[in-house]
Structure 1
């Protein structure tokens, strides 16, 4: 779909990738951009329409869908990462929170806004995913599982929404320089570059938007030899356990 003239809603628009997506949408000619966050006062980007939204809360999602009835582009960006293993984590708290936001939050938004998009001619949904959805990094196993579930959700709603003319995109990329990854010391992409790449993929009609080189390399490696990635992750986990 065309970004110019669209009316977009971006979840988690108060910081990081979400803030840059909202900014890039306006710069690309979007007619209106709703910036959604738990605290609407945190939406400070010029030209944005703040919306109170916690994607884990049914009443807030329903209220957003009732208020933002003109949306033609929904970007499900809100997400959390606890960076904990599946079995080594002391409780299920982190895994449950990641699933509640990354999977069920995205599903809740898709269910609420599908009728809105249909009424406005179809439009598009973009689910912000991760290369971590493509394989499991055991040191952050529960996050990877939540993103894999969100990826499967993306494929599923694509099937269900095709008849109403709603395009469904999944955006994949590696580590990005945001607060979520501040504790990680490794090369990271700029949030602004990621936002521009996501919008370019939407405009090009790419169902699978491989935003950065890490996403493209990971997809290629998995297609060539999925077992090699599994062996690499096992080696990484074993090395961690020896420290």
Structure 2
């Protein structure tokens, strides 16, 4: 499957939400043509968000809302998004979802002899314990949203945003303002991030990774315990 291009990140987020609502196994690899910054929907209820959103748009980085938690995430041609929608086995824990998507990214990169780890990176945007890192720099961030299906099962939307190319320098002051408005202390910094175009030869990145990502994600869906996901489909 090729990477689907949406005009804006809001369109990509909407497609993920539609697949999540359907509740059937699916994979979606996408990026947006237009630049923007996606933040949790809860941010929109904070005092001063309207003014912040207007200032960000004037700087060329309009803010868009998503249903999952976490921090602000740059979107645009330099970000590849991988979304996995899957029913989770009875008794599954949220860590299994993170291991699924981080494992898929790790397996795909290992095919190109790039070793990854997971962990927090100080001053990274949308920092968390389940960042995918290379050389202690952040390559991808992950997030999840679950909802119950009945019979003790849940369906999960498991998402990763992978830095394919560093965003323009104009984003960093905007990200700092966005995170400060949400109570963040450490401004995000470019140098703590790594991009695919630094890790793979120019002729390979990012297109060579796309097929590897989908194969690795499909393999992990098929091997979830106590659940047959043979109907998993690329969306």
Higher RCO by CA contacts (8 Å cutoff, separation 6 or greater): 2
Return the TM-score normalized by structure 2: 0.28
Q: Which structure dedicates a bigger proportion of its chain to helix?
A: 1
